[in-house]
Structure 1
Amino acid sequence: MAKDTPYASKFLLERMDEFCDENKYCADCADYIVKTPDDIGSGVSHLVNTSPNIDVMFTDNVFEKPVSMSFTETQQCGGFIVLDGQVAMQIEGFDEEYVVKKGNLMLMTINKADCKATYSKGRIHMINFYVGASIMHRLDRKNNNFPIEVIKGKELVTKNMLWQLSTTPDMSKIICDICDSKLSGGILSFYINGKIIELLALIYSGYLERKLFYPGIKTYDLNSITKAAEIIEENMISPPSLIELAREVGINDNKLKKLFKKVFNNTVYGYLNEKRMIKARDMLIAGNVSVQQVAEAVGFKHSGYFCRLFKEKFSETPLEFMRKHGDS
């Protein structure tokens, strides 16, 4: 997102008068601001009721220390996207804590559960969206992936489900479209409503693609494999051992090796070296850095081994590559 792009919550706050003016705003739409208590931080959460079935909350807070909030959810569908900071979720019935980092999102259906959200110290910028079970059921009615059933003529969530994934460029574009919009009042609310539906369609499309592409892998295991890939990429200088990695994502090391190969068509550390080479390539193109500095930046103590892997990947030594492609 461009630096001069207004964040959604600030953007909506600037237009509060328009949202509250019934002459400009739909009478059946509500708009609320929740100010963060001064004793824990600063900022606001801005809730927009875009339609009878969709609520959207834009949150932009700065916490002085990690903050935990406990609450009970009933018949809840939707999710949240973390644009900055980190949110850890503990939900009744799930053994592990789900940590959603910057650039990731969580989709969920909740029948009834006690929940606890812990927000990291510093800035927390996120978008929550709440949608009616009828929308989720309509989205999923041919596949029966979501635990939603029609009971006495009404769509109801029958059990709890969580699904975590990284945002794609297309999803990020929708978020930027909302933040960049020059619309106001009821038109803005209507626009946000459409964008949230578009976002939900993309999320569910990605969900289906992963289920269809990896039909033999359970959702929990697939999420664990994806999380493992994120962990080793974020810690390429000092990656965890296979056993440590398996423990962190909640599956045994044999299953991790087998499923990782199936999903990424590479071993765990083969994948790590692939990501290392890509980062090294980008650093060499940027220039103003030595081969040894690049090697150390991507996790190699000895430049000789780094150079050998780089040449295997790009058919040139790092020095040859930098001379040919680097900025002078």
Structure 2
Amino acid sequence: MDKKRRNKESAKSTPVIHENKCVLHTISKLVNQQEHCGIYTKKFCFLPEIGDGNFEYNRFDGLFIGVFDVLLKNDFKIHGEQNIDAIELSYLIDGEQIIKIDGKSHDLIYEGQESYLVYISQVSGSIQYHKNKHYKEIKIRMHSDFIKKHKLDSEYGIHEKYAVEKLDRNFAKPLCSKTQEILAELLTDTRQGLLKRLFLESKALELLSLHLEVNKRAKPEIPITDNLIKKLYEVQYIINSDLTIQYSVHELARKVGLNDFVLKKEFKRVFNKTIFEYALGLRMIKAKKLLKHSKKPIYEISELVGYKNSTHFTAAFKKVEGTTPKKYRQSDIEVLENTKA
């Protein structure tokens, strides 16, 4: 009962918002909209239960530039599917996102002072945001009309080179000083009408040019491990990669360069479980699969899930599952025999 209640509480703490239900109307309310010199502008204010802040965008001639600025009060996740054919540039000035693309086995960790360039044609997945975080992002989308106008795909092969399915763990790049200057100009601009159109279009192209230049002269990628959220996901990866090893908190902290207290506190914040609870859950899932689908002896299964002593494994399994490994396996065999009969 305790385990079920914890799962329910965890689910409540991270509500899932489906983008196909018009995500902006789900998490915010429209406070202003206007059209001037062909620029269509909308401003939204986030709902109190989501956070304190707003989202504003300008759209014209296949170019979209949006600015998110909010202090989040609760965890939430946006799940959606997009079919748009567009170049997307994102500049995360502050905050963190956990991006999950359907079909990819690993999450993409995106943190403040980073950016990415991607070509989206058809993609589905989710983005998770954490509470008590200030989140500030400038997002630019260049749709097919804009791409054709500036011959972006034929000249640079962006459609192929930056396809969303090619994103890997090192997809994000740190913001350079020139990029930060341009972002500051976008955030403080007060132009109107035609001058605003020319300014936004020129800055969007300048940012794209900078990103392409950085990628062209970039050295082989070295994984970025300085940021906290990446270190937490590196710990998750270390645990997942070999369940035969039971790492102590101190060992994990030393591997990723954190102190023990910060690792324990932040791991619990991000994953809603302690490191022990997380690793134990994975071990029990693997143990049940091996008990159900293999004929390996229990002492061998205990070693495969990190227990050198099968007695310790049996005690841990019984505490979590309410029965011993032997009885769990036997009950499954009986169910199969009854089904056949």
Alignment-mate amino acid for residue 66 of structure 2: M
Q: Which residue of 2 aligns with 1:69?
A: 78
Could you say if the C-alpha distance between residues 80 and 69 of structure 1 is closer, same or farther in structure 2, counting changes exceeding 3 Å? same
The alpha carbon displacement at 1:246 in A equals 11
Q: Which residue of 2 aligns with 1:93?
A: 103
Q: 2:184 aligns with which of 165, 173, 176?
A: 176
Q: Which residue of 2 aligns with 1:114?
A: 124
| Aligned-partner Cα distance in 2 for 1:131–1:30 | 15
Alpha-carbon displacement from aligned partner over 1:236-290 (angstroms, at most 9, x marks no partner):
xxx99xxx67946x999xxxxxxxxxxxxxxxx9xx9xxxxxxxxxxxxxxxxxx
The alpha carbon displacement at 1:86 in A equals 0.9
* 3-state SS in 2 of match to 1:141: helix
| Native 8 Å contact 2:118 2:163 kept in 1 | no
| Aligned-partner Cα distance in 1 for 2:91–2:241 | 25
Q: Which residue of 2 aligns with 1:160?
A: 165
Structure with greater proportional helix content: 2
Q: Percent identity among equivalent residues?
A: 13
Output the TM-score relative to the length of structure 2. 0.52
* 3-state SS in 2 of match to 1:147: helix
The alpha carbon displacement at 1:101 in A equals 0.8
Q: 1:206 aligns with which of 214, 220, 226?
A: 214
| Aligned-partner Cα distance in 2 for 1:182–1:35 | 20
Unaligned runs of 5+ in 2: 1-30, 243-253, 258-341
Alpha-carbon displacement from aligned partner over 1:95-141 (angstroms, at most 9, x marks no partner):
21111111001221222121211122221111111112465573353
| Native 8 Å contact 1:84 1:125 kept in 2 | yes
Could you say if the C-alpha distance between residues 108 and 183 of structure 1 is closer, same or farther in structure 2, counting changes exceeding 3 Å? same
CA radius of gyration, larger in: 2
* 3-state SS in 2 of match to 1:39: coil
Output the TM-score relative to the length of structure 1. 0.54
| Aligned-partner Cα distance in 2 for 1:199–1:186 | 20
The alpha carbon displacement at 1:68 in A equals 1.0
- Superposition RMSD in Å: 3.4
Q: 2:93 aligns with which of 67, 83, 90?
A: 83
| Aligned-partner Cα distance in 2 for 1:88–1:57 | 20
1:264-283 paired onto structure 2 within 5 Å = none
1:133-282 paired onto structure 2 within 5 Å = 133=144, 138-142=151-155, 144=157, 146-147=159-160, 160-162=165-167, 163-210=171-218, 213-214=219-220, 222=221, 225-228=222-225, 230-231=226-227, 247=237
Q: Which residue of 1 aligns with 2:44?
A: 34
The alpha carbon displacement at 1:179 in A equals 2.4
Aligned pairs, how many? Answer: 204
| Native 8 Å contact 1:147 1:161 kept in 2 | no
Could you say if the C-alpha distance between residues 226 and 158 of structure 1 is closer, same or farther in structure 2, counting changes exceeding 3 Å? closer
| Aligned-partner Cα distance in 2 for 1:47–1:113 | 22
* 3-state SS in 1 of match to 2:104: coil
Alignment-mate amino acid for residue 70 of structure 1: H
Q: 1:130 aligns with which of 141, 149, 156?
A: 141
Alpha-carbon displacement from aligned partner over 1:50-79 (angstroms, at most 9, x marks no partner):
x31210111111211222111111123212
| Native 8 Å contact 1:80 1:129 kept in 2 | yes
The alpha carbon displacement at 1:40 in A equals 1.7
| Aligned-partner Cα distance in 2 for 1:158–1:86 | 22
Unaligned runs of 5+ in 1: 1-15, 149-156, 215-221, 253-268, 273-328
| Aligned-partner Cα distance in 2 for 1:111–1:104 | 23
| Aligned-partner Cα distance in 1 for 2:138–2:112 | 12
| Native 8 Å contact 1:174 1:195 kept in 2 | yes
The alpha carbon displacement at 1:159 in A equals 6.2
Q: Which residue of 2 aligns with 1:320?
A: none
Alpha-carbon displacement from aligned partner over 1:21-58 (angstroms, at most 9, x marks no partner):
x5xx21x3211122212222222111101x31210111
| Aligned-partner Cα distance in 2 for 1:201–1:167 | 14
| Aligned-partner Cα distance in 1 for 2:114–2:129 | 14
Q: Which residue of 2 aligns with 1:288?
A: none
**Runs (4+) of structure 1 moved beyond 6 Å?**
none
| Aligned-partner Cα distance in 2 for 1:125–1:104 | 11
| Native 8 Å contact 2:98 2:107 kept in 1 | yes
Could you say if the C-alpha distance between residues 185 and 144 of structure 1 is closer, same or farther in structure 2, counting changes exceeding 3 Å? closer
